[in-house]
Amino acid sequence: MEDRVSAPRTRAQGGRGAGRYAPSPSGDLHLGNLRTALLAWLFARASGRRFLMRIEDLDRARDSGAGERQLGDLAAIGIDWDGEPVLQTERGADHEAAIRTLARAGLVYECTCTRRDILAAPSAPHAPPGAYPGTCRDRTDAQRAVAREAILPRIPALRLRAPEGVRELEFDDVVLGRTRGDIDDFVLRRGDGTVAYNLAVVVDDATMGVDQVVRGDDLAPSTPRQILLQRMLGLPSPPEVEYGHVPLVLGPSGARLAKRDGAVTLAQLRERGVGSGEVLIELATSLGLGAPGEPVTTARLLERFDPAALPRAPWTWAGPR
């Protein structure tokens, strides 16, 4: 039987489109994660889309039980979703089918380079820092066999053979506007056998019928790689798929909010007497959807939501008042 990615469920096939939130279960969600989830929910519900939940648990560095705690925290601030949450680890068959589809088209090759090898290799002119220099791209079968033997027991990673001359791609972002990002021969499956984020997210979004992706703006540079994969796999891509990359939350130091900044999760804030309703008030205020101290619900925020009026700058969390 021919390998193929499961057919995507799109509005063109009779259903509503969908937005989604897809946390990694590496620990409890902090305020930055909750704010992004709230925005993803608002964008989806305001556009009449379904809102789906996916736990991206492919990475081995995950916290047992974190996924359930994350879902509980999202529900606590009033975010709901349609259907059952999807576990990314249960999507492996479609991930591997996508890799085989690309491989049959000659678009996949083995790579034995380490991160240190890549950083030490001479870069092509005008290539961005850290871009893959193509070391393993044109090896012969015999050279690949020798390289494979040399790294045992490690296995080679698999990389996408990006089209010649395609080194960047632009797309329209509903928050950032016209946005560009670099493309190199990026990893599809890592040397530890784990499917890489760029491939998994593309396949999973398509299969789940997701046609609106709202996430942190730190992920905007990777979007061109994902759009390229969508096109190569024959999956929906912009303008059929809408992207919106929203500003992050910063800590008191001005760096991206992290757990080192103190009470930044719902559980930590509860210990300081700050309830989930108060957290929602803070998030609403940061988005210009509520006045300081004004009690709100997600339903009320949805009534007020206007994507064009959203703040475009990061929000700095100074700690509980």
Binding residues for ATP: 259
- Cβ neighbours, 10 Å, residue 89: 16
Distance (Å, whole) CA 196 – CA 202: 10
- Side-chain-side CA neighbours of 45 within 13 Å: the count stands at 20
Neighbours of 215 (CB within 10 A): 21
285 Rama class: left (phi>0) / alpha (psi -120 to 50) / beta:
alpha
Annotated binding site for L-glutamate: 20-24, 56, 197, 215
- Annotated binding site for Zn(2+): which residue ranges? 111, 113, 132, 136
Query: What residue numbers does the annotated binding site cover?
Result: 20-24, 56, 111, 113, 132, 136, 197, 215, 259
| Residue 278: partners with Cβ closer than 8 Å, 6 or more residues away | 269
